[in-house]
């Protein structure tokens, strides 16, 4: 068993942090990589990015939004309980290079995925501006951590309850207008990554996104995670999850993410009825 040693709830309980004992994974993991977890013998294989690692303590941290049956089962786990299986580190680590001025854009739980990448980009000597957004102030996560991981943090809320009233793309546009941006990293809901990439293409700024297609084995064998990038088929679990944002077919990705929506809803409703 992979024991949970710390647990926190954020964003009104819709997002949960678990710090898990996984010494071998924590020693090998690099920014941008993910793990696949199973709650029990019959559990689904769920991919989640490592939001942090502590090789000295031998732990990894995951932060997930509760969206369906498996993440609801994860949420029910208490400190001292744990996951039956945690496999990783998986995926290609983030390419880290000193390029100059970098803008990191995160939305929703994408902020958790963005956190170790932002810290690492600052660590190799880049000037990092971070823009994070949420629908409303109470749903914002990791504000203090993102402030520490970057040189300048800008916050946006859709309803104007905190920070800039509007979308992350409004603030990104202002920064792009100032000039000098060498790289944009965007991680969040697929429409957000699509619109950021559309905008940065107009400014000719290289853009990296992290994709979240449905994954099963996570090792390049099943083909479940295939995405189209630059007209070629790629497996996000081994070729990614990070790709050139200007080359991704976002509409296909969105359609594929919805492929099992009916079955997922049925399974979640059944789970909710049993646990009420």
Ligand X SMILES: Cc1cc2nc3c(=O)[nH]c(=O)nc-3n(C[C@H](O)[C@H](O)[C@H](O)COP(=O)(O)OP(=O)(O)OC[C@H]3O[C@@H](n4cnc5c(N)ncnc54)[C@H](O)[C@@H]3O)c2cc1C
- Distinct helix (H) and strand (E) counts, the chain: 9, 16
Q: Which of 216, 276, 204 is nearest to 245 (CA)?
A: 204
When CB distances are held under 5 to 8 angstroms depending on the partner's kind, the choice from ligand X, ligand FES, none that residue 24 binds is none
Pick one of 18, 26, 32, 34: the residue that binds ligand X (CB under 6 A): 34
Q: Is residue 112 a contact residue for ligand X (CB under 6 A)?
A: yes
Collect all residues with Cβ–Cβ distance below 8 Å to 181 and sequence separation of at least 6.
Answer: 101, 102, 103, 175, 203, 205
Q: Is residue 212 a contact residue for ligand X (CB under 6 A)?
A: yes
What residues form DSSP beta bridges with 232? 229
Residue 130: CB minimum distance to ligand FES, A: 29
Helix-helix angle 250-257:190-202, to 10 degrees: 180
> Which positions touch ligand FES (CB under 6 A)?
215-218, 220-225, 235, 237
Nearer of residues 91 and 163 to ligand X, judged by Cβ: 91
When CB distances are held under 5 to 8 angstroms depending on the partner's kind, the choice from ligand X, ligand FES, none that residue 94 binds is none
Nearer of residues 112 and 155 to ligand X, judged by Cβ: 112
CA angle at residue 137 from 101 to 110, to 5 degrees? 50
Pick one of 11, 22, 25, 46: the residue that binds ligand X (CB under 6 A): 46
Pick one of 82, 106, 107, 241: the residue that binds ligand X (CB under 6 A): 241
């Amino acid at each position: 068993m992979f024991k949970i040693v710390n647990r926190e709830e954020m964003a009104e309980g819709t997002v949960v942090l678990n710090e898990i004992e996984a010494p071998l994974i924590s020693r090998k993991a690099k920014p941008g990589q993910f793990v696949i977890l199973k709650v029990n013998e019959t559990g689904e294989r769920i991919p989640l990015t490592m939001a942090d690692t502590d090789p000295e303590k031998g732990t990894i941290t995951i932060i997930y939004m509760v969206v369906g049956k498996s993440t609801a089962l994860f949420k029910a786990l208490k400190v001292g309980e744990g996951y039956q299986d945690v496999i990783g580190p998986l995926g290609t680590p983030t390419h880290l290079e000193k390029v100059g001025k970098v803008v990191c854009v995160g939305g929703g739980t994408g902020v958790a995925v963005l956190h170790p990448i932002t810290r690492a980009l600052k660590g190799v000597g880049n000037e990092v501006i971070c823009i994070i957004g949420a629908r409303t102030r109470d749903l914002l996560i990791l504000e203090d951590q993102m402030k520490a991981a970057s040189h300048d943090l800008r916050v946006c809320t859709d309803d104007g309850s905190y920070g800039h009233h509007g979308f992350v793309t409004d603030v990104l546009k202002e920064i792009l207008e100032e000039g000098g941006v060498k790289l944009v990293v965007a991680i969040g809901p697929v429409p957000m990554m699509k619109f950021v990439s559309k905008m940065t293409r107009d400014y000719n700024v290289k853009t990296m996104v992290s994709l979240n297609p449905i994954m099963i084995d996570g090792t390049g064998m099943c083909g479940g995670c295939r995405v189209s990038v630059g007209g070629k088929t790629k497996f996000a679990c081994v070729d990614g999850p990070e790709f050139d944002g200007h080359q991704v077919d976002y509409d296909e990705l969105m359609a594929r993410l919805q492929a099992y929506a009916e079955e997922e809803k049925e399974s979640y409703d059944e789970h909710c009825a049993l646990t009420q």
